[in-house]
């Protein structure tokens, strides 16, 4: 993490107190202003309209997997991926003062957060999970409702911000629960300061193949034949029924000669290929207020 210049505005999905806000502070430092957005697509729109300088989007969680709506936003040709940060996720059940875990009948949270707490719900079958658009937004709604039978799953920071009690702490299925975020900007915008100690690079790519046997394999062979590791591959639907685009990450900077040749070869083997950006690889995580570690 480095100190961001004052006045730097960074969009994130959710309310203040969300883990996405924590990603902003971990990557950019306390000098940046986190700007809440209702939906993931609103983050992309704010970046494209120049209402903000950068945006953060959760790309995957170690328990719940990929975050599809973020992948869809990343496919926008006007956006460029410029960084990543990994945030530890420790989820708590938050209720209004005076409530108890035994009094709770429903728990609100983002669907991805709810999916990270399957063991908790298996052990509390009387509690009904209810999906909302954001963890911190769920905490705000619980405070607004003021009902002792309704709780939220969110962070300790959200509990403090919205004056809620922690009824159960660390309810995620595994203590090493983490979410990885990508930092986006308008294509060609100034690059954000790199995190101290970073060195390894990776690149994000989106591509579409013909709907025929072996099309994806043939495209990916362009990387394998040149010894380039593929660290992520996920499919997303396109605007045409039953056709898909693929989001992938390769463990190399797209500007290196070897990667350039591989990408040009892959481009010839598929319908469309676009490099979304190259950025420093984060290999460690930090608790709130700490510094993510990266390969040196």
Per-residue model confidence (pLDDT) at position 295: 33
Per-residue model confidence (pLDDT) at position 2: 47
* Boundaries of every domain in the chain: 9-88+177-186, 92-168, 201-280
Verdict on whether the full-model pTM lies above 0.85: yes
Beta-carbon-side half-sphere exposure of residue 288 (alpha carbons within 13 Å): 12
Residue among 1, 2, 23, 3 at smallest CA distance from 12: 23
Tell me the β-bridge partners of 9.
33
Task: Check if the beta carbon of residue 85 is closer than 8 Å to that of residue 23.
Answer: yes
At 7, the pLDDT band (50, 70, 90 cuts) reads: confident
Distinct helix (H) and strand (E) counts, the chain: 9, 15
Tens digit of each residue's pLDDT (9 = 90 or more) over 83-103: 999 999 999 999 999 999 999
Token digits of residue 98:
């005076």
**If you write DSSP's letter for every residue of 179-223 in order, what string do you get?**
EEEEEEEETTPPPPPPPTT---EEEEEEEE--SSTTHHHHHHHHH
User: Is 180 a residue whose pLDDT tops 90?
Assistant: yes
Asked if the domains 9-88+177-186 and 92-168 are classified in one and the same CATH topology, the answer is yes
Q: How far apart are CA 260 and CA 264, in angstroms?
A: 6
Class of the CATH-defined domain 201-280: alpha beta
Domain covering 9-88+177-186: architecture: 3-Layer(aba) Sandwich (3.40)
Q: Which residue has the higher pLDDT, 235 or 7?
A: 235
Distances (CA, A) of 197 to 13, 136, 281: 28, 31, 11
**Do the strands 165-168 and 244-250 form a parallel or antiparallel pair, or are they unpaired?**
unpaired
User: Is 55 a residue whose pLDDT tops 50?
Assistant: yes
Domain 92-168, CATH among 3.40.190.10, 1.10.3980.10, 3.40.50.2300, 1.10.4080.10: 3.40.190.10
Query: Annotated catalytic sites, by residue?
Result: 179, 181
């Amino acid at each position: 993490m480095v100190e961001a210049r004052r006045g730097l505005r960074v969009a994130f999905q959710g309310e203040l107190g969300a883990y996405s806000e924590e990603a902003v502070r971990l990557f950019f430092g306390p000098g940046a202003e986190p700007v809440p957005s209702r939906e993931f697509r609103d983050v992309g729109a704010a970046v494209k309209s120049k209402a903000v300088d950068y945006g953060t989007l959760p790309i995957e969680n170690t328990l719940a997997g990929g975050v599809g709506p973020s992948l869809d936003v990343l496919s926008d040709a006007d956006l460029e991926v410029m960084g990543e940060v990994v945030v530890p996720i420790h989820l708590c059940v938050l209720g209004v003062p005076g409530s108890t875990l035994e009094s709770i009948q429903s728990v609100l949270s983002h669907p991805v957060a709810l999916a990270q707490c399957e063991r908790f719900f298996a052990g509390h079958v009387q509690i009904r999970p209810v999906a909302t658009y954001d963890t911190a937004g769920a905490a705000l709604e619980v405070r607004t409702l003021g009902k002792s039978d309704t709780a939220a799953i969110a962070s300790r920071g959200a509990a403090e911000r919205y004056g809620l009690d922690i009824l159960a702490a660390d309810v995620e299925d595994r203590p090493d629960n983490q979410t990885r975020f990508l930092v986006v900007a308008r294509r060609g915008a100034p690059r954000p300061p790199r995190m101290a100690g970073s060195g390894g690079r990776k690149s994000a790519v989106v591509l579409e193949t013909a709907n025929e046997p072996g099309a994806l394999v043939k495209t990916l062979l362009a990387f394998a034949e040149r010894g380039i590791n593929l660290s992520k591959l996920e499919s997303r639907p396109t605007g045409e029924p039953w056709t898909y685009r693929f989001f992938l990450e390769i463990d190399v900077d797209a500007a290196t000669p070897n990667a350039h040749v591989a990408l040009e070869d892959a481009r010839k083997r598929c319908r469309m290929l676009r490099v979304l950006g190259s950025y420093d690889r984060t290999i460690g995580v930090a608790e709130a207020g700490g510094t993510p570690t990266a390969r040196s």
